[in-house]
Amino acid sequence: MSESTLGVYDIADLREQARQRLPRGVFEFFDRGNGDEVALANNRAAFERIKLNPHMLVDTSQRTQAITLFGKQQPMPLVVGPTGSAGLAWYEGEVALARAAKNAGIPYTLATGSMTALERVAAEAGGELWFQVYMWPDRAASHALIERAKAADYKALVVTVDTPVPPGREYNLRNGMTVPFRFTRRNVTDVLMHPRWLAGVLLRYLLTTGMPRYENYPTAMKTKITALPMGRSMMVSDSLTWDDLREIRKLWPRPLLVKGILRAEDAKLAADRGVDGVIVSNHGGRALDSTRAPIEILPEVVEAVGSRVTVIVDSGFRRGSDVIKGLALGADAVMIGRATLYGLAMAGEAGAARAIEIYRDEIDCNLAMIGCPEIGKLDPGYLAR
Ligand SMILES: Cc1cc2nc3c(=O)[nH]c(=O)nc-3n(C[C@H](O)[C@H](O)[C@H](O)COP(=O)(O)O)c2cc1C
């Protein structure tokens, strides 16, 4: 454990700090799900249904949680996932997240919808950077974006496929995070009641680059957050098919992953198109509601394609024991979304680093407790379902 815990001891503590610091509209945009939030709740409940089955008196004094992902060793089995608008949690939050990931030796995935341009994140943070792309209806514009990521030396491309249309997320409307942005008594009061955020985030943008906007978008599409609703600015396409993936494969020579897979047949279709990895994900319960939890679907995907491609899982991982369960069920790594955002909202890079450290300490503790000296040796035998 580092010298500074920042006074937070688990991811729930970080979430509470984020709740206090962010305007309610921004916090709910980060924290909540979609629809009736059935998927959001089930993502967590699913972990409670899977129990650990520990071995006693195993020498784990040399235990390691290092893994190899796409040929690279990394000290822990996490990937920081793409979270659009992370720059609203902290001034230039994407750079802070990337630095925290770099210092922990794990990949950071920059979202298409980030408030810092992909070239700047590469120049100012570096590290093992992945880029997440949403395919726009204008495929040529998306292909140009992919070329930019390639030129900026991003190491992997993540194509997200689980949001063909914008999710409803009514709370954004209630909070006045709407399109076009309307100054309502509610959202103005909300911001004024969070002066640290107003001064430390919003005013800093206004005094430097102006209203935060999606800096990776082509100039014609560059959209201020005053012009589109939160979470609807992705402009995703409902005409995307598996053929598009074939095209992207031709453009991208490095590891290519498809994010948002929720059934084994789709994982096979992806593998048949030559992808290197699939990410079993329901977008943290933010896209289609009422899906099964990715941790429940994971074993089917691993059985279908685990020997052919890398399998990553996300959605609802808040504890080291959750990560252990994911790897025991066959995932090669776990992606996290909100946890590092909470940390970012609390204390920028230091807060994101603290989130990662919490996972590291909890994974380490759990490995010892279940009697597993090497994280790569985890298998379903460590679980009782
Ligand atoms: C605020 C926020 C924004 C997100 N934006 C994106 C995005 O732009 N692209 C994407 O593929 N996933 C996005 N996600 C989903 C995450 O990549 C990830 O799948 C999800 O957060 C995992 O669940 P967890 O938050 O419970 O860890 C976003 C998630 C959050 C919380």
Amino acid 219: pLDDT: 77
Residue 82 alpha carbon to ligand 1 centre in Å: 6
SS3 label, residue 160? strand
Question: Kind of pairing, strands 78-80 and 333-336?
Answer: parallel
Residue 304 pLDDT class (50, 70, 90 cuts): very high
Nearest-angstrom CA–CA distance, 188 and 193: 9
302 phi, psi to nearest 5 deg: -60, -40
The ligand 1 atom at the shortest distance from the C-alpha of residue 315 is 23
Ligand 1 environment, Cβ below 6 A: 30, 81-84, 111, 113, 132, 160, 259, 281, 283-284, 286, 314-317, 336-338, 341
What is the model's pLDDT at position 173? Answer: 85
| DSSP letter for each residue of 314-382 | -SS--SHHHHHHHHHTT-SEEEESHHHHHHHHHHHHHHHHHHHHHHHHHHHHHHHHHT-SBGGG--GGG
Confidence of residue 181 (pLDDT cuts 50, 70, 90): low
- Helices 338-370 and 24-31: angle between axes, nearest 10 degrees: 50
Q: Name the residue of 240, 286, 288, 315 whose CB sits within 8 Å of the most ligand 1 atoms, as the mutation to test its pocket.
A: 286
pTM above 0.75, yes or no: yes
Contact present, 55 and 288 (Cβ < 8 Å): no
Decide if pLDDT at 180 tops 70.
no
Query: Checking DSSP bridges between strand 67-69 and strand 72-74, what pairing results, if any?
Result: antiparallel
Q: What is the DSSP letter of 64?
A: B
Q: At residue 226, does pLDDT exceed 70?
A: no
Copy the structure tokens of residue 346: 């609390």
In the 8-state DSSP scheme, what is residue 202? I
**pLDDT-derived band at 237, boundaries 50, 70, 90:** confident
Taking the C-alpha atoms of residue 359 and residue 321, their distance in angstroms, rounded to an integer, is 9
Tell me if residue 143 is catalytic: no
Q: Residue length, the chain?
A: 385
